[in-house]
């Protein structure tokens, strides 16, 4: 049979990794796919740059549209990232009747509905396993392996850069900025790393996971997003002393009122497996009604781990090239006509437990005032610790762990606490999930 011809858009971290894996494992991959897979062309902005892969035998071009319009190419693999020009390239490739594999979570989270509609119209496939959690086959697990379940909730460490930064801060007390630079040098971070540290990249991924888990439309704009830039080494240390680790989690939960979609730093009990997922590793915990909790773990970023997912998608596309488009696995797991518009809850309506850190004057009655305010809002305290004042300071750090409370109620209580003359500055709040 004729080889299947691939055109790569992008030859950076993931593009380079994909060339390496496809070349190194060519015979093993052919045995699985049933056809030879040949990279005929690849595009990059600069043709002079040193590459992490051997490009011998691949036609190189600085014009990605040359690949998209090449009639010889069967599958376009988009590894440029961002929206411009990736979105237009993907839509043009689909229009030209080519299948598309992409690692671009921003494109899928923001414009997936349009991209999938175009693919259906043209009878071609769009595969995007590498868009979520790097090398972990979480899309396949959710879309196929768990299709007998009603998914109740999922919680994931889905940004490798943030997990790498938090781990280095916790294990070695390293400085935030310095570790971020290292994550960039290792190829983990996005082209604009604020997407990583401010939680936007994790929110793109959560949008995709939630859609596949619950059969809801992709709706990135409704995700509550808080990144890790406000997390201090002090909070990491206090959390540890209380038996918790801080992780950036993406959480999607089905409740009677609607769906929670949120990305934020979270205290997790240190005894949980997911609390011990460190460095660039990712993990997604999925709770299905039939199977119970399941945990998926692996490298969340980097050249070859991500290429592993890209190549698996290419193999999937090759295997189903001749199948009837109506009998393929739906992009978002549920049949397009069965996507349900379940409301997404605003963050004020979400209930979680909390870690609070405040600075209090060292005199009688101060903590009593704080606990009275919490009690008046029906907020119960699980633990309270008072630390030594930092050298030369007159205010004591006080850490409180509070039981589940609706965010709206906590906002009011915190505003009252911050207004006390004995409390300095604002109250630091980090959500806490037991993930039991």
Query: What binding mask, one character per residue, do residues 298-337 give for ligand NDP by CB under 6 A, x or -?
Result: ---xx---x-------------------------------
C-beta of 9 vs 79, nearer to ligand HSE:
79
- Does residue 227 bind ligand HSE (CB under 6 A)? no
Query: CB-hemisphere CA count at 13 Å for 429?
Result: 18
- Does residue 45 bind ligand NDP (CB under 6 A)? yes
Out of ligand NDP, ligand HSE, none, what residue 112 binds, judged by CB under 5 to 8 A for its kind, is none
Which region, judged by CB under 6 A, interacts with ligand HSE, from 69-77, 82-90, 118-126, 159-167?
159-167
- Does residue 397 bind ligand NDP (CB under 6 A)? no
> Residue 320 to residues 28, 179, 221, 326, 329: CA-CA distances in angstroms?
18, 42, 33, 12, 10
Query: What binding mask, one character per residue, do residues 350-379 give for ligand HSE by CB under 6 A, x or -?
Result: ------------------------------
Tokens (6 digits) for 136: 């972990």
Check whether 14 is labelled as a binding-site residue. Answer: yes
Binding ligand HSE by CB under 6 A: which of 78, 168, 196, 198? 196
Q: How far is CA 429 from the centre of its chain?
A: 22
| Long-range contacts at 202-205 (CB < 8 A, ≥ 24 apart) | 202/158, 202/159, 202/162, 202/248, 202/250, 202/263, 203/109, 203/250, 203/263, 204/105, 204/106, 204/108, 204/109, 204/110, 204/131, 205/105, 205/109, 205/131, 205/132, 205/133, 205/156, 205/158, 205/159, 205/250
- Does residue 94 bind ligand NDP (CB under 6 A)? no
- Does residue 49 bind ligand NDP (CB under 6 A)? yes
Out of ligand HSE, ligand NDP, none, what residue 204 binds, judged by CB under 5 to 8 A for its kind, is none
Which region, judged by CB under 6 A, interacts with ligand HSE, from 147-155, 183-191, 375-383, 391-399?
183-191
Residues 124-163 that bind ligand NDP (CB under 6 A): 130, 134
Query: Are 13 and 28 spatial neighbours (Cβ–Cβ below 8 Å)?
Result: no
Active-site annotation, residues: 205
Query: What binding mask, one character per residue, do residues 161-180 give for ligand HSE by CB under 6 A, x or -?
Result: x-------------------
Residue 251's closest CA among 359, 170, 353? 353
C-beta of 192 vs 257, nearer to ligand HSE:
192
Which region, judged by CB under 6 A, interacts with ligand NDP, from 43-51, 242-250, 256-264, 411-419?
43-51
Min. distance of Cβ 310 from ligand NDP in angstroms? Answer: 8
Binding ligand HSE by CB under 6 A: which of 43, 87, 104, 159? 159
Query: Are 329 and 144 spatial neighbours (Cβ–Cβ below 8 Å)?
Result: yes
Out of ligand NDP, ligand HSE, none, what residue 104 binds, judged by CB under 5 to 8 A for its kind, is ligand NDP
Check whether 9 is labelled as a binding-site residue. Answer: yes
Query: Are 340 and 411 spatial neighbours (Cβ–Cβ below 8 Å)?
Result: no
Q: List all residues 6 or more positions away from 200 whose beta carbon is below 8 Å from its beta carbon.
A: 194, 225, 227
Binding ligand HSE by CB under 6 A: which of 86, 166, 209, 301? 301
DSSP code of residue 197: H
**Residue 257 burial (C-beta neighbours within 10 Å; 0-12, 13-18, 19+):** exposed
Nearest residue to ligand NDP, using CB?
12
Check whether 180 is labelled as a binding-site residue. Answer: no
Check whether 332 is labelled as a binding-site residue. Answer: no
Out of ligand NDP, ligand HSE, none, what residue 15 binds, judged by CB under 5 to 8 A for its kind, is ligand NDP
Check whether 135 is labelled as a binding-site residue. Answer: no
- Dist. CA 371–CA 381, nearest whole Å: 8
Binding ligand NDP by CB under 6 A: which of 4, 33, 68, 103? 103
Complete DSSP assignment for 292-348:
EEEEEEEE-SSHHHHHHHHHHHHHHHHHTTTS-GGGSPPTTSS-GGG---PPBPPGG
| Other residues' Cβ atoms within 10 Å of the Cβ of residue 352 | 21
Q: List all residues 6 or more positions away from 173 whose beta carbon is below 8 Å from its beta carbon.
A: 233
Complete DSSP assignment for 141-182:
IIIIITTTSPEEEEEEE--HHHHHHHHHHHHH---HHHHHHH
Summarize as ranges the residues that interact with ligand HSE (CB under 6 A).
134, 159-161, 188-190, 196, 201, 300-301
Summarize as ranges the residues that interact with ligand NDP (CB under 6 A).
10-15, 43-46, 49, 64, 79-81, 85, 103-105, 130, 134, 187-188, 190-191, 301-302, 306
Binding residues for NADP(+): 9-16
Binding residues: 9-16, 105, 190
């Amino acid at each position: 049979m004729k080889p299947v011809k691939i055109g790569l858009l992008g030859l950076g971290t993931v593009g380079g990794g994909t060339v390496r894996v496809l070349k190194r494992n060519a015979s093993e991959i052919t045995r699985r796919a049933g056809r030879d897979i040949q990279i005929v062309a690849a595009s990059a902005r600069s043709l002079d740059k040193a590459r992490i892969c051997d490009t011998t035998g691949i036609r190189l071009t600085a014009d990605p549209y040359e690949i998209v319009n090449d009639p010889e190419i069967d599958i376009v693999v988009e590894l440029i990232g961002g929206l411009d020009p990736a979105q237009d390239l993907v839509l043009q490739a689909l229009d030209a009747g080519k299948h598309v594999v992409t690692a671009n979570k921003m494109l899928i989270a923001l414009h997936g509905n349009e991209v999938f509609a175009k693919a259906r119209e043209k009878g071609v496939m769009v595969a995007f396993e590498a868009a979520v959690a790097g090398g972990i086959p979480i899309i396949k697990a959710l879309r196929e392996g768990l299709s007998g379940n009603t998914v109740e909730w999922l919680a994931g460490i889905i940004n490798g850069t943030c997990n790498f930064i938090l781990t280095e801060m916790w294990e070695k007390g390293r400085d935030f900025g310095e570790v971020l630079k290292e994550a960039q040098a290792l190829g983990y971070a996005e082209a604009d790393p604020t997407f990583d540290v401010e939680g936007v990249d994790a929110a793109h991924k959560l949008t995709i996971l939630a859609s596949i888990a619950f059969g809801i439309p992709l709706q990135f704009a409704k995700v509550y997003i808080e990144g890790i830039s406000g997390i201090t080494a002090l909070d990491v240390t206090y959390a540890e002393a209380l038996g918790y680790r801080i992780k950036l989690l993406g959480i999607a939960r089905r409740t009677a009122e609607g769906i929670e979609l949120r990305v934020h730093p979270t205290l997790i009990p240190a005894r949980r497996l997911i609390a011990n997922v460190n460095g660039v590793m990712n993990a997604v915990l999925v709770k299905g009604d039939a199977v119970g909790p399941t945990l998926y773990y692996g490298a969340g970023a980097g050249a070859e781990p991500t290429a592993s997912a890209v190549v698996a998608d290419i193999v999937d596309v090759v295997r189903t090239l001749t199948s009837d488009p109506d009998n393929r696995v739906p992009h978002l797991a549920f049949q397009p006509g069965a996507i349900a518009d379940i409301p997404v809850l605003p963050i004020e309506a979400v209930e979680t437990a909390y870690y609070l850190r405040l600075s209090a004057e060292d005199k009688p009655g101060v903590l009593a005032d704080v606990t009275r305010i919490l009690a008046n809002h029906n907020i119960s305290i699980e633990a309270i610790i008072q630390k030594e004042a930092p050298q030369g300071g007159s205010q004591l750090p006080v850490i409180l762990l509070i039981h589940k409370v609706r965010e709206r109620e906590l906002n009011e209580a915190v505003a009252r606490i911050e207004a006390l003359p004995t409390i300095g500055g604002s109250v630091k709040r980090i959500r806490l999930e037991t993930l039991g």
